[in-house]
Structure 1
Amino acid sequence: MRSRRKFIQQSIAGSTTLMASGLPLFHILPSRPKLEEEVLGHGDFRYRVEKNWSQADSSRFPVKNCHEMVLDQKNRLILLTDHPQNNILIYEPSGRLVDSWTLDFPGAHGLTLSDEGGEQFLYITDTGLGKVVKCTLDGQVVLQLPHPAEIGAYDEKMPYRPTETAIGPNGDIYVADGYGAQFILQFDAGGKFIRKFGGDSFLQPDKFKQAHGVAIDYRAPGDPTLLVSARIKNTFKRFSLSGEYLEEHYLPGAFISRPVLDGENLYSGVCFGMTEGNYNMQLNRGFVTILDKENRVISNPGGTEPIYKDGKLQLLLQEQPVFRHCHDVCLDRDKNLYVCQWNADGVYPYKLHRV
């Protein structure tokens, strides 16, 4: 791990110098963000985009793909990228970069924040290396999960390319092998293997095609469940915490990324979309989708308005070409959104200001 503490020290020193010079406070406050005129979204979930939110120097803190982002208890936005120079960039909501570090992961993909006894930890997956690690917020690795072939969960021919993790209420770790053999692997908090479920199938409802993301859904009081995004099936699949298939929620046209729960709502980046008459996965057709507590789509920032006919959701498409491939969505305390993009020429996250 390489940390850039010097960057923070220089930033703090610069602010101190300005205050010592007697300049009024407004001279060091950031300027008003430049928002796009176009409003995205529908109903009560409408936004204006700030494309240049990140104040990071791209020559010093480059990104390739901005894969995922979480908000910690200190109100800092933690971004995961697959650039080995800086896997982690840490921001204030204003867009000011306050820290960075790396695990030298060339395929960093999944980022999960877990609160464990008042201390927060990050769980990071690397799809290329086949690694899942738990680390502190400053990048110290405290646990690495075993490869499933080492513990008899996979045979040697089965691919393992983990994309995401979720942490259960008892500390169990759920790993989505979304680019590999399509299983969800369950470990206890210490990394001991418990079980696997799922697998690869287009037709069987309890199996996946690209089990890309996984999250614990606490919206039903006293009955937490596991949500898994089966991206190629355009579907969120729900399981019990012991791996029993329960139900699914179909979003026609939306090749969804991981489920992100906030209050009563479910958010997801749509990484790929469709076009009318061509129902295959299409590049550069991303948008964001938002579902309510009944798992009905209520807004699609960047996409078409959700329409239900006879209780069935109609085809969702990109309408405004603001995004290319929305890989993740993060919310701040004011319910603004931060959208991470894959394969988008190295852009930093866009901030969507709620209106």
Structure 2
Amino acid sequence: MLAGLLLSLGLCALTLAAPKPPQDDGPRMYDLPGEEEIQFADDAVLQPEETQDEQSEAYILPVSKQLGEIAGLAIDGRGRLVAFHRADREWDEKSFDEKEKFNKKLGPIKNATIAVIDPSNGKVLEEHGKDMFYLPHGLTIDEKGNYWVTDVGSHQVHKLDSSFKPLLTLGEKLVPGDDAHHFCKPTDVAVAKNGYFFVADGYCNSRVMKFDPSGKLVDSFGAAGGAFCVCLLWYEKSDSTLTASYGHNHGTRELSCLE
């Protein structure tokens, strides 16, 4: 139900507000083509954004069809809710082995994993993603209406067009790794104004990877075996700020790239 979707967003907000652990990485510089140089600074604190719109409010809206566990939630260019969910798939001790390889016997999720929902009445308007994903996680919609999803089961990142057709896939299916061509349970994607994008990788590798619009790796920071899971990324278009939320069992911290 939609209550689950809203609760997921609330948990994200609570996570970002948690105390920061001691820092172990220094600032990192990036030069994004077409934009001024930006710096990753690890002393920024994310504050709730104030709004002058007194009509804004949170509410629970029943959804017309049963959805699975919600992994990602976004609003598309038409104001519709888009949910990336796990259908009947559960993430438990049988999902991965000790080397982070997904249980191949489970196969891809047979049912739809993407639901487009009318926020005015909760009606599910469209469903997509049958037999495409193993264990859905993150969902981002860029300015052009493309959908970016992460699959921690297949260890891949997918870019889908507005019709949910694959445009780009990064990572080798069902093969975890820590080199330039592999991910290990990637969690989220943030897309910059110039088309460059960042991948939070993730539960195993504790790094953020930067790619050009074609999917070529440009740079990365963090490393495999790090103490923190890179769970969430947020790109603020107004000032080209990227915030990475680190959390696992040690609270969270934020890394902001500032112009």
TM-score range, shorter chain: 0.5 to 0.7
Within-5 A mapping of 1:190-205: 190=120, 191-199=122-130
Please tell me whether residue 216 in structure 1 is matched to residue 141 in structure 2: yes
The answer on 1:171 being equivalent to 2:163 is: no
Q: Alpha-carbon deviations, 1:252-303, whole Å to 9, x = none?
A: 1342112212212212322223xxxxxxxxxxx3111122121222121114
Q: Deviations over 1:186-224 (max 9, x none)?
A: 223422112222245xxxxxx1122111222335xxxx3
Aligned partner of residue 300 in structure 1, secondary structure = strand
State TM-score, norm by structure 1. Answer: 0.47
2:230 equivalent to 1:326: yes
Alignment partner for residue 163 of structure 2, among 242, 252, 256? 242
Equivalence for 2:9: none
8 A Cα contact 1:40 1:48, kept in partner:
yes
CA pair 230-120 structure 1, distance change in 2 beyond 3 A: farther
Alpha carbons of structure 1 residues 35 and 253: separation in structure 2 relative to 1, 3 Å: closer
State the 1:337 CA deviation: 3.2
In the other structure, the counterpart of 1:22 is none
1:281-334 deviation line (CA, Å, top 9, x unaligned)? xxxx3111122121222121114xxxxxxxxxxxxxx38x4x510001224454
RMSD: 3.7
User: Greater share of strand residues, 1 or 2?
Assistant: 1
Counterparts of 1:260 and 1:292, CA distance in 2:
12
Amino acid at match of 2:234: C
Q: Does 1:161 align with 2:69?
A: yes
Aligned partner of residue 259 in structure 1, secondary structure:
strand
Deviation at 1:161, TM superposition (A): 0.8
Aligned pair 1:226/2:147, yes or no?
yes
2:243 maps to a residue whose letter is Y
What secondary structure does 2:153 align onto? helix
Structure with larger Rg: 1
Distance in 2 between residues matched to 1:339 and 1:255, nearest whole Å: 16
Instruction: Answer yes or no: is 1:265 the counterpart of 2:196.
Output: yes
Of the three residues 295, 313, 325, the one matched with 2:215 is 295
Aligned-partner SS, 2:74: strand
Matches within 5 A, 1:133-152: 136=56, 140-146=57-63, 148-149=65-66
Q: Which amino acid aligns with 1:343?
A: H
The answer on whether the counterparts of 1:288 and 1:301 sit within 8 Å (CA) in structure 2 is yes
Gaps of 5+ in 2: 1-21, 90-108, 172-180
Q: Do the aligned partners of 1:212 and 1:231 also contact (CA within 8 Å) in 2?
A: yes
Q: 8 Å contact 1:46–1:301 — kept in the other structure?
A: no
Q: Contact 2:200 / 2:208 at 8 angstroms: preserved in 1?
A: yes
Instruction: Give the deviation of 1:172 after TM superposition.
Output: 2.4
Alpha carbons 1:198, 1:208 under 8 Å: kept: yes
- Using the TM superposition, give the Cα deviation of residue 179 of structure 1 relative to its aligned residue in structure 2, in angstroms: 7.8
Distance of aligned partners of 1:256 and 1:119 in 2 relative to their CA distance in 1, 3 Å threshold: farther
Quote the Cα distance in structure 2 between the aligned partners of 1:249 and 1:268: 10
Deviations 1:38-64 (A, max 9, x none): 45477668745425x44xxxxxxxxxx
Change (3 A) 1:296 1:41: farther
Structure 2 distance, partners of 1:35, 1:325, is 14
Using the aligned pairs only, state the percent identity.
Answer: 12
Checking the alignment, whether the CA contact within 8 Å between 2:199 and 2:210 is kept in structure 1 is yes
Match of 1:253 among 179, 183, 203: 183
In structure 2, relative to structure 1, the CA distance for the partners of 1:194 and 1:261 (3 Å cut) is: same
Secondary structure of the 1:351 match is strand
Higher-RCO chain (CA-CA 8 Å, sequence separation at least 6): 2
Q: After superposition, what is the alpha-carbon deviation per residue over 1:141-192, rounded to whole angstroms, capped at 9, x for unaligned?
A: 245241633xxxx6xxxxx110211222222221000485451112234221
Q: SS of the residue aligned with 1:301?
A: strand
Q: Which moved more, 1:252-261 or 1:140-149?
A: 140-149
